[in-house]
Structure 1
Amino acid sequence: MMEETNGSSPHIFVLLGFSAQPSLELVLFILVSGFYVVSVLGNGIIILVSCKDMRLHTPMYFFLANLSLLDISFTTTIVPQLLVNLWGPQKTISYGGCVVQFYISHWLGATECVLLAVMAYDRYAAICRPLHYTVIMRPQLCLCLASVSWLGGLTTSMVGSTLTMLLPLCGNNHIDHFFCEMPLIMQLACVDTSLNEVEMYLASFIFVVLPLCLILVSYGHIAQAVLKIRSAEGCRKAFNTCSSHVAVVSLFYGSIIFMYFQPAKSNSHEQGKFIALFYTIVTPMLNPLIYTLRNKDVKNAFGHIVAEDCCRFTELQGPI
């Protein structure tokens, strides 16, 4: 397994994953397969209805479609290789495949942090500035904010991942996880990684801590505005407007905080893998469910699309 090049990087990496608990691998294979299918279908439906139904051509659903695209891309980057490793005895990934994984996962993870902050600002504008909402969240600004999210995540990934890729690994190729993640690659390096760690902490502050602070500030203002609403109906509408986003933010940041704020030498590393599995597989599956189960607009839009497609199919079939 320790096959390596003449240089400083191995040809392959061994993803140890859940190999310490082989009896769980078949169960995890079945669960992960099911979650992945539901995640792709659920997020695909969100994208479909947001694009096809004119009534959903609003800032909220524009950002929601971006979030769904992120979730599909993120899980697709990790899950196929995870399923291969869970199914068979081989737990390897090529060097190129590993590089692609940590470039893309870093990019999409950073993008999601910024996008969730943008969505919180959208909810702030909708509740705290309702009369000026259409002027504030004009289409040009929405496109700009979405572009900043994607390009910002791509920039930090290009910098951090490239610095990591340049580290000499000296043949070390065992990764105690189920996917290639930048901090884990850094641990394999046989040189000082202080510069990489400084860059990683700085990027974490900009793309994780700052967006979380903006989300908290936005919802602080929203809470103040809701408390001033005298009617029960107004409070209910405001709550329904924000509850789905709050649930998604709580799932996303809750798992990240648990993962990255535990001690580096903690004995709960195996537990950390299951938390990583949760935000990699389960959270992207729950996001469309959270947004659709409490959202009549999405359910109605999906119903209209299905009905229209059925009508078209019937017309194409013609009279029997």
Structure 2
Amino acid sequence: MPNYTTIMEFILMELSDVWELRVLHAISFSLMYFMTVTGNILIVTVITLDRSLHTPMYFFLRNLSILDACYISATVPNSCINSILDSSTISKAGCIAQVFLVVFFVYVELLFLTIMARDRYVAICQPLHYTVIMSPQICIQLTLASILSGLIYAGVHTGNTFRLPFCQSNVIHQFFCDIPSLLKLSCSDTFSNEMLVVASGLGIGGGCFIFIIRSYIHIISTVFKFPSGADRTKAFSTCIPHILVVSIFLSSGFYVYLRPSAITATVQDMVLSVFYSIIPPLFNPIIYSLRNEHIKCAIKKIMKRTFQLRIA
């Protein structure tokens, strides 16, 4: 039998050992967290209150906003508290919960972005069939399927990771618990775990990315047939930022998750993890909603209504 001690808690790495830099990290992360949660809650509130926005497109935007607020809440608050208190320990149960939530939110985020690309493709390229293809029943079914499959996906990866014995160290070279960092701490063979992560990551992530790119190629080719003007500019201003955010989201995630566990973790890995754990939830509200004229008008109407009620 191997001689090892069961690890009951882990230590998360800080971005810096210098107190001033830790405070700067906590402040910057807190600001990004506040902006993300505020923006996403605003979008959820506006879409819920304004009946004119009760369409498939805004249904998915609201779902994405709820998901983004939860996604960033799974990692950033704990990291900020650890930086301020200089206490980076996390229990094994807390680490399990964090791994499950991160994997679940990443998976569902990717599916939601793919569904939204499909929604825009149908709206622009097949407008006559839009109400049939993207009916309310289908929208709900797609959302439930994404969530349920995400729970299964996260459960499989989390269970497969924590069935391993951890004995080499309890120091996770990351500001939150993630699978690649944990595999480096295992004293058993992790080849099957790595193959599962690579296969599922390339299969699901690569498949969704190809589907999104294909949808936008069709959208752009259709937009080129429009007369040059506001419609074409509006379509491009939406498509290009979407593709950029998805590309950053996937490329940074692929780099961190698909590298062999034998490669030593670096600060670069921690920085890159920001691009798939913080940047998408922060920029999604700006790209999809706050630049949208209908959302802007709805926000103005609600603010005007609230102001009038206060005066009355």
CA deviations 1:165-224 (Å, max 9, x no partner) are: 111113731101100001211221111122222221222123211111111111121122
Q: Does 2:142 align with 1:136?
A: no
Q: Tell me the equivalent position of 1:286.
A: 283
Q: Does 1:28 align with 2:6?
A: no
In structure 2, the CA distance between the partners of 1:90 and 1:233, relative to structure 1 (3 Å rule), is closer
1:78 pairs, out of 75, 79, 84, with 75
Unaligned runs of 5+ in 1: 1-5, 316-320
Cα root mean square deviation, aligned? 2.3
Structure 2 residue 31 is matched with structure 1 residue 37: no
Q: Give the aligned partner of residue 120 of structure 1.
A: 117
Structure 2, unpaired ranges of 5+ = none
Count of aligned pairs: 310
Per-residue deviation, 1:292: 3.7
**Matching residue within 155, 160, 163 for 1:163:** 160
1:110 aligns with 2:110: no
CA contact (8 A) 1:126 1:133 kept: yes
Which of 139, 148, 152 lines up with 1:151 in the alignment?
148
Q: Distance in 1 between matches of 2:93 and 2:142?
A: 32
Counterpart in 2 of 1:221? 218
Instruction: Quickly say closer, same or farther: Cα 1:21–1:38, change in 2 above 3 A.
Output: same
Q: Separation in 2 of the partners of 1:221 and 1:83?
A: 42
Q: Which residue of 1 aligns with 2:87?
A: 90
**Any idea what SS the aligned residue of 1:14 has?**
strand
**Partner AA of 1:232 in structure 2:** G
Comparing 190-199 with 34-43, which one deviates more in the overlay?
190-199
Kindly indicate whether the alpha-carbon contact (under 8 Å) linking 1:29 and 1:83 is maintained by their aligned counterparts in 2.
Answer: yes
- Contact preservation (8 Å) 2:181, 2:265: no
Q: Distance in 2 between matches of 1:282 and 1:215?
A: 19
Shift of 1:13: 0.5
8 Å CA contact 2:14–2:22 kept in 1: the answer is no
**SS class of match (1:13):** strand
Counterpart among 287, 291, 299 of residue 296 in structure 2: 299
- The answer to whether the Cα contact below 8 Å between 1:111 and 1:154 also exists between their aligned partners in 2 is no
Range moving further from structure 2, 134-143 or 191-200: 191-200
Q: TM-score, normalised by structure 1?
A: 0.89
Aligned partner (choices 257, 276, 289) of residue 273 of structure 2? 276
The SS at the match of 2:11 is strand
Percentage of identical aligned residues: 37
Structure 1 distance, partners of 2:192, 2:254, is 23
| 3-state SS in 1 of match to 2:74 | helix
1:279–1:179 CA distance, 2 compared to 1 (3 A): same
Contact 2:184 2:262 in 1 (8 A): no
1:127 positional shift: 1.0
Instruction: Note if contact 1:77-1:101 (Cα within 8 Å) is conserved in structure 2.
Output: yes
Where 2:90 maps in the other structure, the secondary structure is: strand
Segment drifting more, 178-187 vs 270-279: 270-279
